[in-house]
Amino acid sequence: QMFSERFGKGSRTVDLELEAQIDVLRETKNKYETILRLATALTSHFQSMVQTQQALGDTFTELSQKSPELQDEFGYNAETQKLLCRNGEALLSAIGFFVSGIDTLINKTMEDTLMTIKLYENTRLEFDAYRSDLEEQSLNPRDGAAMVRIEMAQQDYQIHRDKYERLRSDVTIKLKFLEENKVKVMQKQLLLFHNAISAYFAGNQEQLEQTLIQFNVKLKPPGADKPSWLEEQ
């Protein structure tokens, strides 16, 4: 059947609305993968920046103690870098939570629906194969043997039509739930991402901490290689 379709022979059962929805899902998944990739890169660059700020803070502190003539200048720079490090760790936890949330949405939730879609597509292919078989049988002269074959083809057709309908219904339901879930997850994650980034880059430590509490983001212990939010999500 697949080959018949490839070479323009055979007909294809098409649910235009459903296929459009599936195309949209695949496109959305691609776009969200771009966000995931960029947010992961952001985490990595930001992490490097915070580490450098930590080292700069330490060097400024040392020079503030060793340079009486520039004590103030090194001193206030040391303070600023250290404050940025503390807030930086908080922002890293927030971005980590965002990355983890998007990762789950793409690689668990969307992936689960896409697996059902693959099953549905295979079932559609099988169903169309039995359907064309039945159509071919029906064109033959109707002697006794032919009637038996038509009867059997009819049964196969019915079984695979039911299976196809069931999976089409499964896909429709999963797509509906996925859409609702996607909107809910993204509303939450995009709000968290925005509020955490805004608070951090406005130097608003209190608001940043409030955002973490509001979204129940645990502060990653500094230096933890395996971020704890990966298991929590």
Question: Which residues are near a second copy by CB under 8 A?
Answer: 28, 31, 34-35, 38-39, 41-42, 45-46, 48-49, 52-53, 55-56, 59-60, 62-63, 66-67, 69-70, 73-74, 76-77, 80-81, 84, 179, 183, 186-187, 190-191, 193-194, 197-198, 200-203
Q: Which is nearer to a second copy, 156 or 179 (CB)?
A: 179
Q: Residue 227 and residue 109: Cα distance in Å, rounded? A: 21
Alpha-carbon distance 210 to 192, whole Å?
11
Cα angle: 24, vertex 30, 32; to 5 degrees: 100
Which of 98, 83, 96 is closest to 204 using CA atoms?
Answer: 83
Nearer to a second copy, 56 or 119 (CB): 56
Least distance to a second copy, CB of residue 47, Å: 9
CB of 80 to a second copy, least distance (A): 6
Q: CB 132 → a second copy: shortest distance, Å? A: 37
Q: How far is the CB of 83 from a second copy (least distance, A)?
A: 9
Contact residues for 131 (Cβ-Cβ < 8 A; gap 6+): 11, 13, 157, 160, 161
- Nearest CB to a second copy, comparing residues 130 and 193: 193
> Smaller CB distance to a second copy: residue 18 or 63?
63
Q: Least CB distance from residue 221 to a second copy, whole Å?
A: 22
Choose among 148, 128, 126, 121: nearest CA to 137.
148
* Nearer to a second copy among residue 14 and residue 191 (C-beta): 191
Minimum CB distance to a second copy smaller for 61 or for 132:
61
* Closest distance to a second copy from the beta carbon of 219 (Å): 19
- Cβ contact 164:123 at 8 Å: yes
* DSSP state letters, 127-181: HHHHHHHHHHHHHS---HHHHHHHHHHHHHHHHHHHHHHHHHHHHHHHHHHHHHH
Name 208's Cβ contacts closer than 8 Å, sequence gap at least 6.
87, 90, 91, 94, 196, 199, 200
